[in-house]
Structure 1
Amino acid sequence: MKASIPFAFALQFLLCLAIASPSPTILRSLLSSRSESSPNPISSIYPNNITGTINSTLTVVPIPYTLARSIIPAEYGILTKAYHSLLREFPSDSYPLVIRGALDHGVGLYAFNFSLADFQSIHILYPFVDLLGDGYSSFTYNKYLLISNGSQAIAGANASGSIVPPAIFQPDLEAYAFAPSSTDEIFLSAYTNLSTTQPAVTTAFKLLKQVGPWPVSFFKNVTNQPIFTDGLSCDNQITLFNTSLSIGKNAPVGIRGKISIMAPYFPEEDCEAFDDVYGIKVDIAFIENTGMNCSDLKGWHATGSGD
């Protein structure tokens, strides 16, 4: 059942008229410089922490609030005021599902000369969850996480209760690739053992001249929320939007496109397609603290350090 959100679609239509795509030549030049990940710029700054870079597309999919409520475990509240404070024009009866397609690069512990082989992932994220019941702290619920087949990262994700089907990505070990029949569209697809002939998740986007309608501050906030599945163990990934990877000429770029998700990764029909999805393309550095006690991460909120 596809979400019907007239206000959002009307807003997106107006933006489509106002935000034209660059020429194919300019587009390919801009994107080709971003398809390969740059070296980790913070590994020696935080030698005793796990650090890395994540070259990703981050998008907001407005879904009915009632549907989100049926997916997020009933014992946890949803902080609607928190996401509406960041998404001023967001429909009142909707919820911001976040889809992140990514290439993790340069992940390791500098002080111990340990590194993890690059891997790809697709995150299906339900942010602004009141895990601790304090009406304030925002957490992100992540039941399904698709990770490259054979990656050591799968074991770590499984430890927190996530369902992590090993995936094969197209393109392989890239953040995205150009569509074969297009000079101005990028895509990323993931296949699992439940969808060997059809992608479990696929994304296709075009570049915009500016970010909109959802601000970068929203994505900063969401990517800094502690992530959980079982409610006990949390992954605390601190994303840094102020390094050379994501400022100046490398600042976040607006994208618009479509996403398809097969069941069971999204609990609607056999395959759910979302059109006119907006977000950003950005490469960022991160510090990661895994296996954290969720109760120790109290305090993250919609106007916190992610802004």
Structure 2
Amino acid sequence: MYPCMLQAVHDHGIGMAALNFSVSDFSRAGIEFPFLDLLGDGFTSFRWASELLMTASNAVAISGTVAYGTLVHPATFEPTCDAYAPAPEREGAGATTFGAASVLPGAAGIKSLFKPLGDGTESPYSEAFWRNVTNQPSFANGLTCDEMVRYFNTSVSTGENAPVPVRGRVEAKLQTFKGGKVWKGVYGIRLDTSFVENNYLSCESLRGYGGRT
């Protein structure tokens, strides 16, 4: 079985101040497949992110993502302006939920429930691991690649937004899986990060890529 990961995020404050250009905040979620040797060099790792749910009202973000060959499902999100929300008290202290549903009924959806690890419980995946997989360049059809550089070491990732190891459950209905999938007891990390994104790069230009963080 090949490893995959859920990435559910709310992108905020996107733009280029020098050009007075900005993109409205939006949410996105998808199941991604890291550690792919797209170039066949035995070294450079890429993430395959071929299918996403994205905020239906953000046409700019959707069109920019479709340009990679990504299958995008315009969607609604819960919460609408964050990557997670407090779960009902019965789920335990610190538990959070996330949900995305395609505007086209039944076409696609993702739900998750995560809880912080209990005292004395350690995640098998270090922060360095998450920094590695989330900073691998991504692709959909393999013609162009996206380099999103996530920084785990800025003031954005401190205080209440500092990394928190979590464990929980993920449900996904996507064309990638030809139906529904459920994963239980999966590990993750919850945090805020700043990032810089370089769009529409030649995948070949990233040969030998080892990250920038």
Which residue in the other structure is 1:48 paired with?
Answer: none
2:52 aligned to 131, 145, 150, which one? 145
Q: Max radius of gyration: which structure?
A: 1
CA RMSD of aligned residues (A): 2.0
Where do residues 10-159 of structure 1 align in structure 2 (5 Å cutoff)?
A: 64=1, 95-151=2-58, 152-159=60-67
Match of 1:277 in 2: 186
Aligned counterpart for 2:171 among listed residues 240, 257, 260: 260
* Structure 1 gaps, min length 5: 1-63, 65-94
Q: Which residue does 2:206 correspond to in 1?
A: 297
Q: Structure 2 counterpart of 1:280, which letter?
A: I
Shift in Å, 1:195: 3.9
Provide the rounded CA distance (Å) in 1 between the counterparts of 2:55 and 2:192: 19
Identity, in percent, stands at: 40
Hey, what's the Cα distance between the residues in 2 that align with 1:253 and 1:177? 15
| Range with bigger deviation, 123-132 or 210-219 | 210-219
The question of 1:187 aligning with 2:97 is answered: yes
Size of the aligned set, in residue pairs, is: 208
Using the alignment, how far apart are the partners of 1:203 and 1:195 within structure 2? 19
C-alpha distance in 2 between matches for 1:250 and 1:149: 27
Q: Look up the equivalent residue of 1:155 and give its one-letter code.
A: S
Instruction: Decide whether the 8 Å contact of 1:122 with 1:146 is kept in 2.
Output: yes
| CA 1:275–1:99: 2 relative to 1, 3 Å | same
Per-residue deviation, residues 195-233 of structure 1 (Å, max 9, x unmatched): 45x971101111125651211111111111111111111
Task: Provide, for residues 47-91 of structure 1, a one-character-per-residue CA deviation record: whole Å limited to 9, x for no partner.
Answer: xxxxxxxxxxxxxxxxx1xxxxxxxxxxxxxxxxxxxxxxxxxxx
1:235 pairs with 2:146: yes
Following TM superposition, by how much is the alpha carbon of 1:305 offset from its aligned partner in structure 2, in angstroms?
A: 4.5
Displacement of 1:146 in angstroms is 1.1
The match for 1:204 among 109, 113, 120 is: 113
TM-score, normalised to structure 2's length? 0.90
Deviation at 1:272, TM superposition (A): 1.4
Comparing 205-214 and 151-160, the one that deviates more: 205-214
Whole-Å Cα distance in 2 between the matches of residues 265 and 202 of structure 1?
16
Match of 1:251 among 138, 155, 162: 162
The aligned counterpart of 2:125 is 214
In the aligned structure 2, how far is the partner of 1:199 from the partner of 1:162?
14
- The structure-2 alpha-carbon separation of the partners of 1:290 and 1:228, relative to structure 1 and needing over 3 Å to count, comes to same
Give the secondary structure class of the aligned counterpart of 2:205.
Answer: helix
One-letter code aligned to 1:163: L
Q: 1:179: Cα distance to partner?
A: 2.4
Which consecutive unaligned segments of at least 5 residues does structure 2 have? Answer: none
Q: 1:272 to 1:154 in 2, by over 3 A?
A: same
One-letter amino acid of the structure 2 residue matched with residue 297 of structure 1: L
Instruction: Indicate conservation of the 8 Å contact 1:104/1:118, yes or no.
Output: yes
Greater strand percent: which structure? Answer: 2
| Secondary structure of residue in 2 paired with 1:299 | coil
